[in-house]
Amino acid sequence: MQRRKRFAVAVVLGVAALGLLAPTVLAGPDATASVLFGNDDVGSSFPPITEHDESGNGKFNLIPRTVAIAEGGTVTYDIFVRFGVHQPVVYEAGTTPDDIDVLGPFPFVNDPVGRVAVGPAVPAAVGTRAWTTPAGTFDDPGRYLVLCNFAPHFSEFDMYGWVNVK
């Protein structure tokens, strides 16, 4: 009798746990995400290209580096820069950093192959700006590359991230 009672309690608890988890699993990714494009409040105040420290590795990041959204969703990039320029550029699903050629003119990447959206170039004089990807950017499932079009940030500091579209 005691054994049967414990089994019944275990079954009830298991069903309750599944009931709590199912909505999270079944809901899938959100339609929107937000990414911090630049993190200039870390490291030293010296220009990060000097060999003073590794500030560039902390400053030139996308946080989070990877986001997941639903098909047809958008990503808002909160662009923050105190040195140089940040410009988000989205490339089609399947593009990798190795596929990108730095074509210029200096100091920009400007590789048009597979490019699907280009955000504003935000110079240090402006400091901050938000940019939301246009409708249609993420209409198909896949893994999209997003990079900083300012060549030194991309090629020297790996300033890029991903949008996974489910």
Q: What is the pLDDT of residues 25-39, one digit of tens each?
A: 445 689 999 999 998
In a domain, 161, yes or no: yes
DSSP characters over 34-90? EEEE--TTSS-SS-TTSSS-SHHHHHS-EESSEEEE-TTBEEEEEEE-SSSEE-EEE
Mean pLDDT of all residues in 118-147: 96
Check residue 29 and give its pLDDT: 80
Check residue 114 and give its pLDDT: 98
Question: What's the domain count of the chain?
Answer: 1
In a domain, 16, yes or no: no
What is the C-alpha separation between 164 and 139, in angstroms, rounded? 11
Check residue 39 and give its pLDDT: 86
Question: Reduced to 3 states, what is the DSSP secondary structure of residue 159?
Answer: coil
- Threshold 0.85, pTM exceeds: no
Reading the block at residue 67, the tokens are: 């986001």
Check residue 128 and give its pLDDT: 93
In a domain, 125, yes or no: yes
Mean pLDDT of all residues in 43-62: 64
Q: Which residue in the block uniquely carries the two structure tokens 């089994």? A: 7
- Is residue 155's pLDDT more than 90? yes
Q: What is the pLDDT of residues 87-104, one digit of tens each?
A: 999 999 999 999 999 999
Q: Which residue in the block uniquely carries the two structure tokens 């909505």? A: 23
| Higher-scoring residue by pLDDT: 58, 150 | 150
Q: Domain residues for 92? A: 29-165
In a domain, 18, yes or no: no
Neighbour tally for 147: CB within 10 Å: 24
| Higher-scoring residue by pLDDT: 151, 17 | 151
Q: How far is CA 5 from CA 13, 15, 57, in A?
A: 12, 16, 58
CATH assignment at residue 63: 2.60.40.420
